[in-house]
Chain A
Amino acid sequence: MFDELGDLYQQVILDHCKHPRNFHEQGQATCSAQGHNPLCGDQLKLFLTMEGDVVKDASFVGSGCCISKASASLLTESIRGKTRTDVRQMFDRVHDLVMTGEVKGEVGKLAVFAGVHKFPARVKCAILAWHALLAALKGEGHPVTTENDET
């Protein structure tokens, strides 16, 4: 395919979009939050099971584009065993990553989202699950939307 598109739709992203991991509800979740991107109609719900300060389990359900699904899928994999502080730091790194394409600090597999910054219209897709994550940790009841801030 084409270079730029290869940057956006990395193999890992295509894989997670076609076969999302942890794609289910959690009846016993400690907290959950909904994310909504009114522009695309992307809707997802994120479930977290916390053990003290640590994320023990994470999963999601919903519908959306390839980028938002893959982002949510990779998120659920990457935050297991992390503390609230770790997660907050990861959010900042992912945010920087999709905005600038620069990898600052350890992001692991999430580096595949570096190409998103070349597609400004798709940044919101990549960051939606992460906004939902913060909302879930804060225990916010109302759905977060990508229209509330810059990304």
Chain B
Amino acid sequence: MITETSPQTEPEDEAESLADWPAIRGDFPILDQQVHGQPLIYFDNAATTQKPRPVLDALSHYYQTDNANVHRGIHELSNRATAGFEAARARAARFINAAQPDDIIFTRGTTEGVNLVAQTWGATHIREGDGILLTEMEHHSNIVPWQLLAERTGAKLMFLPVSGDVGLLDLNRLDEWLTRDVKLFAFTHISNSLGTINPVADFCARARKAGVTTLVDAAQSAGHRPLDVQEIGCDFLAFSGHKMCGPTGIGVLYGRQEVLADMPPYQGGGEMILNVDFQRSTWKPAPHRFEAGTPDISGAFGLHAAMDYLDKIGRHRIAEHDQELGAHAYARLSQLKGGIRLFGPHVGRAGLVSFLLKDVHAHDVVTVADQRGVALRGGHHCNQPLMHKLGVESTARASFYFYNTTEEIDRFVEVLREIQEFFGA
């Protein structure tokens, strides 16, 4: 019997005090550097966020003191690694208010979470002619796994439309589309290219009424706002550690225990079995049934530290700060003369802005901005179908996190002015 050797205490959310943003920024050693001779302004947080010292320390502490394989050894180090790994699972459950730690499956990230559901739940629940409802603003990782499933099963994909540049979903026909033929409704919480925040609890309530299973892609929201899967009422929810101060290679798939219980295994191997004979095997219950092989143990330790770190700041504060930065950027950019096209909602947007400067390709914007120390993303943001719908090949995107400042945004807008001048006709 393994007990937690180091019971984790949750940091108290100091709701009343104000966050000390400059001090918090100081926790991120990587931000204190120059790029091409200019102070780094890191605005590519929707791709991946930077890691604070406590997360880096947790990783190095794990490897320096506790490293061993989990759930196998009966020696001290293995006990510690196992206890820490399971403590991270329990922490992840509390992080999103899952009913129990067994609702948490560790994955490599959001992409693997969606693929896992498509390959296991999809294999037993999706038949020829069934509908899988997605939205036009989904990331490729919430489209392609369903296309693969549709190819295998003969299911059909449906897409809830996005209303042009303003980037809101057209919900008028949602109830109409949630028919008996639709078996799954999978949607993003926050659009990685538009910054739209979807009313996911409302989506889930409507889907539940129609008996439709739901999956929430929380890649862009998990580290940015409080998340409560019971309040949202989803069946599945997936997110990545690296987009919320954690290491790359670790992520979480939440599944309601009732739904997980009858899902077939994902990958076969060690750790997921009860008993193996030469001809057949039996599986462990969830979540271990879905975690074949040695998992990313250090990643789980790092993710644990990241969740503690975020909650020490307070995710509601992070959400407010995000919105401030998003609104400030949107306002400043819309004042930019000389032609700029902005994507996403005018109000209530997440902390990111996609844009196109008139007659300047996104990649040229990104290249010049980089020379000024500003890290942006240019391209289709893994949203090719959405880009085609909006009639663009690519956009430039600035995405923020709590360590960014309005001063950085002002500097970035200055750089955009220079770019307009540089490429001016």
- Tell whether, in the assembled complex, residue A66 and residue B361 are in contact, meaning their CB atoms are under 8 Å apart: yes
Contacts A5-B371, A63-B393 given: A40-B363 contact, CB under 8 Å? yes
What are the residues of chain B within 8 A of A63 when measuring CB–CB? 393
Q: Name the residue in A41, A64, A66, A122 with the highest tally of chain B Cβ atoms < 10 Å from its Cβ.
A: A41
A1-32 interface (Cβ within 8 A of B): 1-2, 4-5, 8-9, 14, 17-18
Q: Report A-chain residues with C-beta under 8 Å of the C-beta of B379.
A: 39-41
Count CB-based A-B contacts (< 8 Å). 52
Using Cβ atoms and an 8 Å threshold, which residues of chain A touch B360? 66
Interface residues on A, range: 20 to 34
Instruction: List chain A residues, Cβ under 8 A from B368.
Output: 5
B245 to chain A, nearest CB (A): 26
Tell me the nearest residue of chain A to B361, going by C-beta: A65
- Min distance, Cβ B63 to any Cβ of chain A, angstroms: 32
B367 at the binding interface (Cβ < 8 Å): yes
- B423 engages A14 (CB within 8 Å): yes
* A74-97 contact mask (Cβ, 8 Å, vs B): 1 or 0: 000000000000000000000000
Q: Which of B359, B378, B418, B423 contacts A40 (CB 8 A)?
A: B378
A66 touches B364 (CB 8 A): yes
Inter-subunit contact A66/B423 (CB<8 Å): yes
Q: Name the residue among B360, B379, B393 with the largest chain A CB count within 10 angstroms.
A: B393
Q: When A1-B422, A18-B425, A66-B364 are in contact, do A41 and B36 touch as well, CB less than 8 Å?
A: no
Chain A CB within 8 A of B188 CB: no
Does A4 contact B36, Cβ atoms closer than 8 Å? yes
The reply to whether the CB of A43 lies closer than 8 angstroms to some CB of chain B is yes
Query: Counting chain A CB atoms within 10 Å of each CB, which of B367, B379, B422 scores highest?
Result: B367
Q: Which of A5, A18, A65 contacts B363 (CB 8 A)?
A: A65
Contact of B36 with A40 in the complex, beta carbons under 8 Å = no
With contacts A4-B36, A66-B423 taken as known, whether A41 is within 8 angstroms of B367 at the C-beta atoms is no
Contact A122 B425 (CB under 8 A): no
A residues 116-138 near B (Cβ < 8 Å) are: 119, 121-122, 125
Known: A1-B422, A40-B394, A41-B394. A122 touches B367 (CB 8 A): yes
Taking CB atoms and an 8 Å cut-off, the chain B residues in 348-377 that contact chain A are 359-364, 367-368, 371-372
Residues of A within 8 A of B418 (CB): 1
B residues near A (Cβ < 8 Å) are 36, 359-364, 367-368, 371-372, 378-380, 387, 393-394, 418, 422-423, 425
Q: Pick 27 A–B contacts, CB within 8 A, sort by A.
A: A1-B422, A2-B371, A4-B36, A5-B422, A18-B359, A18-B425, A39-B379, A40-B361, A40-B362, A40-B363, A40-B379, A40-B393, A40-B394, A41-B380, A41-B387, A42-B393, A64-B361, A65-B361, A65-B362, A65-B363, A65-B364, A66-B360, A66-B361, A66-B364, A67-B364, A119-B367, A125-B363
**A41-B380, A65-B362, A65-B364 known; 9 other A-B pairs, CB under 8 Å?**
A5-B368, A5-B371, A14-B423, A39-B379, A41-B379, A41-B393, A41-B394, A64-B393, A65-B361
Chain A residues engaging chain B, CB cutoff 8 angstroms: 1-2, 4-5, 8-9, 14, 17-18, 39-43, 63-67, 119, 121-122, 125
